Amino acid sequence: MSSFDWKSEVVVVTGASAGIGAALAREVGKRGGTTVVAARRAAALEDVARSTGSPSLAVVADVTRRDQVEALARAAIERFGHVDVWVNNAGRALTRPAIELTDDDVDLMIRDNVKSALYGMQAILPHFRARGRGHLINVSSMLGRVPFASFRAAYSAAKHALCSLTENVRMDLATELPEVKVACVYPGVVYTDFGTNAVGGGPDSRSLPGGQTAEEVATVMADAIASRAGGDVYTRPEALERVLAYYRGLA
């Protein structure tokens, strides 16, 4: 693969009307890349697209709908000719302990956090296969590795499922398409309105200790794009040791 050049990169980011997605779009734009931003909130999405300072396309899409994700991929390719990076960032939390979960709770978390990413991967992979290269990035959570917040049980379980799904895709493509990189990103607490938007309420993420700003997470993700990182990407240097310590404790 040729050397990396941000000016030639087209990056699709879902869940981009606020939080990590918006911060990543701005970081990509600051580095000279082109962005395609997707979310359901049209006005906020247009604001993000304008704020990138680089070529950008806003596509209103509900990524829990397969047809709308496929339309997003088509719109990006039609506008810019190709896609280099696809970031499945959209997701949603739910606050309820495992013993109290309903069928609807579990279905909602799988739809919003797993199926939405699956639709994205399936929509863009034919394009990556035709080009022989590309970069798939799924945004999980530290709760997808370490279930340290039991009131987010269904969200944690869904993010665990996303981790597994991502790794299976990475292994499936490793031989056939070695230049298609597949990564899973693991933020911890991020100072956004994510917590207050959780189904069933919950603590405001901005009130919790030890968090990161969305901009800090976006910087790590943009660095991962530039290095074509595959596998796990932790947004805090101590995060991997926390994961390893947890699993050593279970042994």
User: Is the residue at 62 inside a domain?
Assistant: yes
Question: Distance between CA 249 and CA 87 in Å, rounded?
Answer: 33
Question: Distance between CA 154 and CA 94 in Å, rounded?
Answer: 7
The pLDDT of residue 195: 76
- Which domain CATH number covers 158? 3.40.50.720
| Whether residue 209 has pLDDT greater than 70 | no
User: Is the residue at 226 inside a domain?
Assistant: yes
- Rounded to a whole number of angstroms, the CA Rg of the chain reads 17
Residues 6+ apart with CB under 8 A from 107: none
User: Is the residue at 60 inside a domain?
Assistant: yes
Q: How confident is the model at residue 201 (pLDDT cuts 50, 70, 90)?
A: confident
How crowded is residue 102: how many other Cβ atoms within 10 Å of its Cβ? Answer: 10
* Contact between residue 186 and residue 142 where contact means Cβ atoms under 8 Å apart: yes
Q: What are phi and psi of 175, to 5 degrees?
A: -85, -45
Q: How confident is the model at residue 245 (pLDDT cuts 50, 70, 90)?
A: very high
User: Is the residue at 215 inside a domain?
Assistant: yes
Catalytic site residue from 119, 155, 186, 234: 155
User: Is the residue at 82 inside a domain?
Assistant: yes
Q: What is the domain range of residue 181?
A: 6-250
Question: Distance between CA 130 and CA 132 in Å, rounded?
Answer: 6
Average pLDDT in the chain: 94
- Per the annotation, the verdict on 155 as an active-site residue is yes
User: Is the residue at 1 inside a domain?
Assistant: no
The pLDDT of residue 251: 64
The pLDDT of residue 2: 57
Number of domains in the chain: 1
Question: Distance between CA 117 and CA 133 in Å, rounded?
Answer: 19
User: Is the residue at 53 inside a domain?
Assistant: yes
Work out the average pLDDT over 108-124.
98
